[in-house]
Structure 1
Amino acid sequence: MKSIDTPPPQSSILDSKSKNLPPEKQQNPHKKSNKFPGWLIVILLLGGGATLWRFSNSQVLPPVQTTSQGPPPRAVEVVELKSGTATRQVKLLGQVEAGEIATLSSQVNGRVERVLVKEGDRVTAGMTVAILDDADASLALAEAQARLAQEKGNLARLQVGTRPEIIAQRQAELNTARARELEAQDNLERVASLTVEGALSQRVLVEARTQADAATSEKLRITAILAEAQAGPTKEEIEAQQGLVAAAQAVVRQAELARQRSQVTAAFSGIVQSRSVNTGDYVEESDPILTIVSDRSLDIFLEVPESLSGQVATGMRVQLNARALANWQQETTITAVIPTADRASRRQLVRVSLNNPPPGLLPGMAIQASLAVPVDRANTFILPRDALTRRGEQWLVFTVNGNQAQQLEVEMVADLGQEIMIVNPELEAGQAVVVRGGDGLTDNATVKVVN
């Protein structure tokens, strides 16, 4: 029989190899046989436990029958929809202008003697700000006053009438004239008889007759003067003299006015904005002297968009503030609406007048304003802000009909702070609208009103 060589066991080969190794490199055969992966043990334990649990549950628990049920109703709070009107706030921009501005000009020709104010000085109404040379005006005034005094004296004599001593004087003159007339007549008669006798020439007779005629004429003249003195001035004479007095008074007033115009005075209270002349300059009529702006009143001109033309009227409330005055705000009303629009900007101007404006608000400053404009829309409703939901670009409200919520897209017309104004043709006053609990609500969702 053939013996079959059997290979030695694996372990004996390893043992023989290990014996040939150094002592420090020899391995313990018992230690290697006990080394087994720990993770494999954990997996086996978990798998066996899970299998055992499923098996036990499948044997103990009865089969579960599932039924399809909808989500529970959502609890919501609602408010009753109410119609209403409101105003919306429109932001406007504007500029401050001086309420009054005046350029004081010379009204006469002359040399500037003094300028009493400078730029930035405060002036009051009627205050003298510049003086022009008034020498010619003073001379003209003195002459006019003298002429007026003369005419007044003549009028006074006419109104008083002729004094008694003047009448007596005129009577004495008349008596003298009569005596001279008689003497001249007697001389004429004597000369005439002598001429007839041939004692005197014809020339002497002519001279005597001329003297007699002159004496008679003088008597008649004095008689008329006496009669006029005794009768007094006529009504027409007095009226004519009164006219002369009035004309002289007009000349005096004109001269006084010319001298007054040599002093340039402020037309109103304000501040000197600019000065155009200095002492010694020669000015002519209408040449500018000073420019004054009022600090007692200011005008604010606000620009209104073209879309609001026709909706802005006098008396509407407007809130003003200025960036330059951080702590200033003032509520006032529109004073006037300018009935034209700017061709370039297509904006209309409105004027707001401020009497006694705050210190520091100056012409040329910018103004911001908030104008309350009534909302001119039909079928508008007012709701609390919480009733409005925004999803994307849409504004939504949910009305409640029974236990169903209906989603409606609305237009927000005005933001009133805690409330909003909306419009939708499908809305009606009295409808219930969700005010709380609408977040995530969908159209036709089941709801439960809890209020």
Structure 2
Amino acid sequence: MTIIRSMRCFLGLGLLLGLPAPLLAQDALVTTARVEERVIVETIDINGSVTAPRTAHLSSDVEGRITALPVSLGDDVQTGDRLLSIDAEEIALQAQSAEADVSEALAARDNARRRLREATRLSEGRNIASNELRQRETDVAIAEATLERRRAERDRLQVGLERHHLRAPFAGRLTHRDVAIGEWAASGTPILTLIDLERLTLDFAVPLDLHHRLSDAEIEVRLPGSDAWLAARPIADVPLEDGASRQFLLRATLDDPPPMLPGMAVQGRLMLSGERRPAVPRDALIRRPDGSVSLWLAREEDGEWHADERRVTTGASHDGQVAIQQGVRAGDRVVLRGNERLEEGQRLTLDDE
């Protein structure tokens, strides 16, 4: 009696709602959508790090004792700033002597030129022998050659003197200092490390089988401590020397980067455009315990809609849409809601407002 009374209440409620009796017994109320062809963007998660491609391990051109070290570890320097000096007393004296030699040679040349001008005036009145005039011309040539040689020697010593000072080749930050004042610096041995913090890049190891799809790829990155994804710009891809890894180096940069430091770990996602394929909303898919994936189609027969289950092969997914490689076609009507307990051939009522 209780069961019969409950059924009567249920049927009475259906009649009050204006629903026909067959719907209450058999029809399933579902929401559907048409299958559309889309280009689904495939998202590949990649991991990388912040690197400084412009890194210089600096060493001195000459050896000697360090007399000045005006920078400390972590200092920011500008191009041309003096980083250290090596004892240059001896070569400085030589450069001073060479400067005096240049002054002496300059005076000798000027005197030779003066004597030649006098001889030239005298030759106009035939008051000087021709051989004397030629001798003074020779004296001027010798004086000019001597002056050039003295200047070259002075410049050579000035270059040598400058090499006793190590200067920053570019603006950056000192990240390593392996010397102190009074220590001996050997020529060619790295003693300071300078990195360019204005040209940091993001390096990712990417599987080689994706290399041919990079032409239209997009990259987004997320830095530690941030939830924001930033658009990055690929600038280079380089094969790795270790061929067994089956990877290549993808280097990217940010046009307006936030503060970063070399060595930071970076999350990335590589977005690759795929082929144009039928796509369905993710809610339409039903994943079975055996690993298979299916969905329900709404098929119209003789003016009525019926459920039709299809096993499908899925592809890439993006923004709630999943590409279907096999199983449906564009234009099919797929069930989005109400597909949890459908049976094959079951009659459907569509609620597709």
- 1:415 and 1:397 map into 2 onto residues whose CA distance is 16
> Which residue of structure 2 lines up, in the alignment, with residue 381 of structure 1?
278
Determine helix, strand or coil for the equivalent of 2:330: coil
> Which residue of structure 1 lines up, in the alignment, with residue 103 of structure 2?
149
- Deviation of the 1:156 alpha carbon: 4.1
- 1:80 and 1:439 map into 2 onto residues whose CA distance is 19
- 2:332 and 2:227 map into 1 onto residues whose CA distance is 45
- 2:159 and 2:324 map into 1 onto residues whose CA distance is 69
Cα distance change, pair 84–122 in 1 and its aligned pair in 2 (3 A) = same
> Which residue of structure 2 lines up, in the alignment, with residue 302 of structure 1?
204
**AA aligned opposite 2:171:** S
> Which residue of structure 2 lines up, in the alignment, with residue 278 of structure 1?
180
Cα distance change, pair 381–79 in 1 and its aligned pair in 2 (3 A) = same
- CA distances 1:161-215 after superposition (whole Å, capped 9, x unpaired): 634489669x99x8xxxxxxxxxxxxxxxxxxxxxxxxxxxxxxxxxxxxxxxxx
- 1:430 and 1:146 map into 2 onto residues whose CA distance is 94
CA contact (8 A) 1:89 1:373 kept: yes
Match of 1:121 among 70, 75, 84: 75
> Which residue of structure 1 lines up, in the alignment, with residue 129 of structure 2?
223
> Which residue of structure 1 lines up, in the alignment, with residue 347 of structure 2?
446
Determine helix, strand or coil for the equivalent of 2:39: coil
1:233 aligns with 2:115: no
1:390 aligns with 2:287: yes
The structure that has the greater radius of gyration is 1
> Which residue of structure 1 lines up, in the alignment, with residue 3 of structure 2?
none
- Deviation of the 1:336 alpha carbon: 0.9
More strand, by proportion: 2
Q: Percent identity?
A: 23
- Deviation of the 1:158 alpha carbon: 5.6
- CA distances 1:129-174 after superposition (whole Å, capped 9, x unpaired): 21111212212222322333344445445656634489669x99x8
CA contact (8 A) 1:341 1:349 kept: no
Determine helix, strand or coil for the equivalent of 1:335: strand
> Which residue of structure 1 lines up, in the alignment, with residue 157 of structure 2?
255
Cα distance change, pair 75–245 in 1 and its aligned pair in 2 (3 A) = same
- The alignment's TM-score, normalised by the length of structure 1, stands at 0.63
CA contact (8 A) 1:412 1:422 kept: yes
- 2:152 and 2:255 map into 1 onto residues whose CA distance is 40
Give the alignment of 1:77-92 within 5 angstroms.
77-92=31-46
- 2:212 and 2:122 map into 1 onto residues whose CA distance is 90
1:434 aligns with 2:316: no
Match of 1:349 among 233, 245, 249: 249
Give the alignment of 1:38-437 within 5 angstroms.
72-156=26-110, 162-164=116-118, 223-228=129-134, 233=137, 242-313=144-215, 316-323=217-224, 325-326=225-226, 329-340=229-240, 342-354=242-254, 357-359=257-259, 361-375=260-274, 377=275, 380-392=277-289, 393-402=291-300, 403-424=305-326, 426-437=327-338
- The alignment's TM-score, normalised by the length of structure 2, stands at 0.78
More helix, by proportion: 1
Structure 2 unaligned regions, length at least 5: 1-21
- Deviation of the 1:302 alpha carbon: 0.9
* Number of equivalenced pairs: 325
**AA aligned opposite 1:342:** D
- Deviation of the 1:332 alpha carbon: 0.9
